[in-house]
């Protein structure tokens, strides 16, 4: 295999496209040789020619952010071809709404307890950490299933998804 005219190895883009990586290669700063999957995903979703045009048409100080955004969207599209990163955003938005409601309810409880309106309920194992019981559905894997998009999104924060379904998508 012929090497490029300078001592650096070809970038991931030139290596994947099987072309000589020139010193002024538009892809080289953003697709290093040790991250080939980053370029492969971007190429499959957007096409190398389109990405090259996009990078050439934008100011150099914005290119890195653009490539990172393209790489994120491409990876999300590979995992979920229909919704892409919008599916992940929707899951997170529903989780924020659920947590905001939980926070509001907890704040209301604190106010009631401070005013001695009602005694606090005894803590249970399920409510001690703000988790709902998994009803015997093996909720220890730390993942969720978004029934709307049909995609599996791992979650490090809880064992149940925001819609309240168990991991198998059953209600």
Same-domain check for residues 109 and 97: yes
In sequence order, the 6+-apart residues with CB closer than 8 A to the CB of 95 are 157, 158, 162
Q: Do both 75 and 44 map to the same domain?
A: yes
Report pLDDT digits (tens) over 25-59: 999 999 999 999 999 999 999 999 999 999 999 99
Rounded to the nearest 10 degrees, what angle do helices 60-79 and 36-46 cross at?
A: 80
Domain contains 3:
no
Per-residue model confidence as pLDDT tens digits over 63-114? 999 999 999 999 999 999 999 899 989 999 999 999 999 999 999 999 988 8
Name the domain boundary from 79, 103, 127: 79
Q: Say yes or no: 87 and 159 in one domain.
A: yes
Range of the domain at 33: 12-79
Q: Which residue has the higher pLDDT, 32 or 165?
A: 32
46 and 105 within one domain: no
In this structure, the answer to whether residues 162 and 90 fall within a common structural domain is yes
Using the 8-state DSSP alphabet, how is residue 156 labeled? Answer: S
For residue 8, what pLDDT is reported?
Answer: 75
Listed residues 58, 79, 100: the one ending a domain: 79
Residues 44 and 95 in one domain: no
Scanning the structure block, which residue is given the tokens 């939980």? 102
Residue of 135, 171, 167 lying closest to 152 (CA atoms): 167
State the pLDDT at residue 144.
44
Q: What is the pLDDT of residue 129?
A: 56
70 falls within a domain: yes
Residues 69 and 16 in one domain: yes
Does any domain span residue 65?
yes
Do 71 and 95 belong together in one domain? no
Contacts for 16-25: CB closer than 8 Å, 24+ residues apart = 16/40, 16/43, 17/43, 17/48
pLDDT one-digit tens code per residue, 112-149: 888 877 665 667 655 555 555 444 444 444 444 444 44
Q: What pLDDT, on a 0 to 100 scale, did the predictor assign at position 30?
A: 94
Q: Count how many domains the chain has.
A: 2
Pick 59 or 1 by higher pLDDT.
59
41 neighbors 78 (Cβ within 8 angstroms): yes
Instruction: For residues 70 and 105, state if they share a domain.
Output: no
Q: Which residues have a Cβ under 8 Å from the Cβ of 119 and sit 6 or more positions away?
A: 113
**The whole model's pTM is what?**
0.55
């Amino acid at each position: 295999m012929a090497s490029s005219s300078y001592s650096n190895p070809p970038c991931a883009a030139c290596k994947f496209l099987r072309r000589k990586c020139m010193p002024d290669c538009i892809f080289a700063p953003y697709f290093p040789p040790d991250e080939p999957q980053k370029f492969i995903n971007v190429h499959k979703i957007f096409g190398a020619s389109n990405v090259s045009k996009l990078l050439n048409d934008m100011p150099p100080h914005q290119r890195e952010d653009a490539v990172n955004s393209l790489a994120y969207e491409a990876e999300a599209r590979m995992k979920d071809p229909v919704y892409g990163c919008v599916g992940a955003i929707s899951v997170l938005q529903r989780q924020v709404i659920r947590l905001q409601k939980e926070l509001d309810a907890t704040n209301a409880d604190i106010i009631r307890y401070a005013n001695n309106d009602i005694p606090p309920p005894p803590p249970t194992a399920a409510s001690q950490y703000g988790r709902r019981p998994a009803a015997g559905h093996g909720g220890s894997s730390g993942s969720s299933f978004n029934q709307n998009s049909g995609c599996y999104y791992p979650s490090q924060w809880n064992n149940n998804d925001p819609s309240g379904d168990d991991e198998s998508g059953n209600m």
